Amino acid sequence: MRRRPQVAGSFYPGERRELLRTIRAMTDPKAAKKQAVAVVVPHAGYVYSGPVAGAVFSSVEVPGTAVILGPGHRGIRSLFAVQSEGSWLTPLGEAAIERDLATAVLERCPSATQDEEAHRGEHSLEVQLPFLQFFRENVAIVPVCVSHEAEYGDLEAFGRGLAEALRDFARPALIVASTDMSHYVSQSTAERMDALAIRRILALDPKGLYETVLSESISMCGFQPTAAALVASLALGAGEAELVLYRTSGESSGDFSQVVGYAGFRILRGAAR
């Protein structure tokens, strides 16, 4: 399947030259880069969340392969929907599916299924791809859409299986967890609620993140992909998480009464935990 872009021209520019101009304005070529196990980045329209995503991708080395985990906003049949063949198109070109790695993920994660349809209208993964292509022109991807019905045990099992697949893959790969933070609350509420989730991510605490989001009713749409990414990162030797940038939609719209929060992180290897 050759997946065509669904939100080009709305979430981000649909014309190559304008898209490149937009991404250049949101990235820093002089930023100090580190090799990361994973990143956590937002997925709203670029006018709102692009500066956070741009700061995160500017701060890491983008390898030849990325596993992108994003929430299924419309509901999906699979707990973890993997596309294992074909390619994705954006105005910046065509990104091939890394078939061997996708197949390994399916083999090691019993709850994961081959499901192209889950990705057809979903934006949470697509908006990450132009940033990846900007920094690595021929990047290959493994897209994984995560159901809102996935419980912590499912996320933990998937994260461990993903880590096994990446370890056996034996080539550099970056895990990309796609999430926005609080939705449609005041600026002060977003900052207070998001701080609770941010604290758990910085502590590399996937179960704590999952439980905090549920117990505090934080409207963080991608907390499940993020928790799975944290599990995988820890299994791959992560020892530190850094908050690269936090902001809200109010800083773009000027409306601080109803905002969406955006937080960007890089997760780095470190001492064993």
Token pair belonging to 126: 């697509």
For the entire predicted model, the pTM comes to 0.96
Full 3-state SS string of the chain: CEECCCCECCCECCCHHHHHHHHHHHCCCCCCCECEEEEEECCCCHHHHHHHHHHHHHCECCCCEEEEEEECCCCCCCCEEECCCCEEEECCEEEEECHHHHHHHHHHCCCEEECCHHHCCCCCCHHHHHHHHHHCCCCEEEEEEECCCCCHHHHHHHHHHHHHHHHHHCCCCEEEEECCCCEEECHHHHHHHHHHHHHHHHCCCHHHHHHHHHHCCCCCCCHHHHHHHHHHHHHCCEEEEEEEEEEECHHHHCCCCCEEEEEEEEEEECCCC
The first and second tokens of residue 60, run together, are 């890491």
Q: Domains plus CATH for the chain? A: 2-269 (3.40.830.10)
Of 116, 39, 50, residue with least CA distance to 85: 116
pLDDT in tens, the chain (273 residues): 889 999 999 999 999 999 999 999 999 999 999 999 999 999 999 999 999 999 999 999 999 999 999 998 787 788 999 999 999 999 999 999 999 999 999 999 999 998 877 678 788 999 999 999 999 999 999 999 999 999 999 999 999 999 999 999 989 999 999 999 999 999 999 999 999 999 999 999 999 999 999 999 999 999 999 999 999 999 999 999 999 999 999 999 999 999 999 999 999 998 544
Token pair listed for 64: 């030849």
